[in-house]
Amino acid sequence: MPKRSIRYWWRELADRAATALAVLAVVLVLLPLGAVFTYLVMKGIGSLNWAFLTQTPKPVGESGGGMANAIVGSGIILAIASAIGVPLGIGSGIYLAEYGRGRFGDVLRFTADVLNGVPSIVVGIVVYGLVVVTQKHFSAFAGGIALGIMMIPTISRATEEVLLMVPNNIREAALGLGISRWRSTLSITLRTAYSGVITGVMLAFARVAGETAPLLFTAFGNQFWSLKPNQPTAALPLQIFVYAISPFDEWHRLAWAGALVLIALIMIAVTAVRVVAARGMLKGTA
């Protein structure tokens, strides 16, 4: 064996150092994740009680109260958003995958990516101008439109991706049976890709569930119960924001609890996505 040169040891060292730095990077990245969750639980769990989930906020100075109106309000806004975003998103995805393979499809695809990158506050301003100004008041309706718009590109790209993964011979089999194109697209192609589409929808949902900026000038927020979609509505992320930047300790406490609830709901959605996706993959393998 020839004697190992200094050069060789140096290269070994570089290799080891690189690995160590990479591991350090991973640790530093996961650290804030752990820290955020830890503090959320620490500071929020104490305030999480039945009152919190069922009561509206109490006036400043009084302790207690909850964010029930914000939770329900978020629900209403998200329902409206899904009613807009899911059909338009899936429809766009179907168009891009089944009919839009040419130049025009590329234009639409690019537009979807552009829309994805637009800051959410800009979406809020646009919906403010189009809906709130026209209606002359804030509403859950406007908030739902803003969030719905944000869902469309995400769902569209995810749907397209997953439809393209359906092998072409399945479409051929359907055509060979004399099934008309629209029936085959819905009942065969889309059905085969179903779990992937659900994944895309839930991811988009989880993303907009936590959005605050677009709601600032659309839903606006409300200290009381707001069940009609045509009035200013409370939303969980909005409420957390308002409480967090306030000078009152009591409201800070509520903000932590609210954040814990919000995270819990989003985490449920994200893990559900993983479960559905895994199960869908096993079922769909040919």
Partner 1 sequence: MGVGIEVASLNAWFGATQALYDIDMKVAANHATAIIGPSGCGKSTFIRCLNRMHETIPGTRVEGRVTIGERNIYNGTSAVEVRRRIGMVFQKPNPFPTMSIYDNVAAGLKLNGFSGGRKLDEIVERSLKQAALWDEVKNDLKKKSGASLSGGQQQRLCIARALAVEPEVMLMDEPASALDPISTSKIEELIFQLKEQYTIVIVTHNMQQAARVAEFTGFFLMGKLIEFDTTQKIFTTPSDKRTEDYITGRFG
Partner 2 sequence: MKLGPIPAPRTPTQPDLRVEKRIPLIREEPNRFADRGFEFLMLACGLSLLVIVGLTIYELVDKSHLSLQQFGWRFFTGSNWDPVAGDFGALPFIYGTVVSSLVALVIAVPLAVGTAVFTTEMCPKPLRGPISFLTELLAAIPSVVYGLWAIFVLAPLLRNYVEPFLAKYFGWTGLFSGPPFGIGMLAAGVILAVMIVPIISSITREVLVAVPQTQREAALALGATRWEMIRIAVLRNARAGILGAIILGLGRALGETMTVTMVIGNRPEIAKSLFAPGYTMASVIANEFTEATGDLYLSALVHIALGLFLVTIIVNALAQLLIWTVTRGAPSRANA
The footprint of partner 1 (CB under 8 A) covers: 167, 169-170, 172-180, 183-184, 187-188, 191-192, 194, 283-286
**Per rule CB under 8 A, is residue 9 in the interface with partner 2?**
no
The CA distance from 262 to 260, in Å, is 5
Q: Which of residues 104-123 bind partner 2 (CB under 8 A)?
A: 107-123
Classify 57 as helix, strand or coil. Answer: strand
Closer to partner 1 by Cβ: residue 63 or 168: 168
Q: Is there a contact between 49 and 34 (Cβ–Cβ < 8 Å)?
A: no
Q: Which does 63 bind (CB under 5 to 8 A by kind): partner 2, partner 1, none?
A: none
**Per rule CB under 8 A, is residue 151 in the interface with partner 2?**
no
Closer to partner 2 by Cβ: residue 68 or 264: 264
Q: Which does 285 bind (CB under 5 to 8 A by kind): partner 2, partner 1, none?
A: partner 1
Closer to partner 2 by Cβ: residue 99 or 224: 99
User: For the purposes of burial, counting CB atoms within 10 Å of the CB of 78, is it exposed (0-12), middle (13-18) or buried (19 or more)?
Assistant: buried
Taking CB under 8 A as the criterion, the residue among 193, 213, 219, 234 binding partner 2 is 213
* Number of chain positions touching partner 2 (CB under 8 A): 95
Q: Is the dihedral of CA 90, 94, 97, 100 positive or negative?
A: negative
User: For the purposes of burial, counting CB atoms within 10 Å of the CB of 23, is it exposed (0-12), middle (13-18) or buried (19 or more)?
Assistant: exposed
Q: Which stretch binds partner 2 (CB under 8 A): 31-39, 55-63, 64-72, 187-195?
A: 31-39
Closer to partner 1 by Cβ: residue 185 or 218: 185
* Geometric angle at alpha carbon 191, from 276 and 78, rounded to 5°: 55
Q: Which does 259 bind (CB under 5 to 8 A by kind): partner 2, partner 1, none?
A: partner 2
Length of the chain in residues, anyone? 286
Closest approach, Cβ 274 to partner 1, in A, equals 19
Q: Is there a contact between 166 and 100 (Cβ–Cβ < 8 Å)?
A: no
DSSP string, 191-217: HHTHHHHHHHHHHHHHHHHT--HHHHT
Q: Which stretch binds partner 2 (CB under 8 A): 62-70, 74-82, 99-107, 224-232?
A: 99-107
Element holding 75 (H helix, E strand): helix 68-94
Q: Which does 111 bind (CB under 5 to 8 A by kind): partner 2, partner 1, none?
A: partner 2
The CA distance from 152 to 167, in Å, is 25
**Per rule CB under 8 A, is residue 250 in the interface with partner 2?**
no
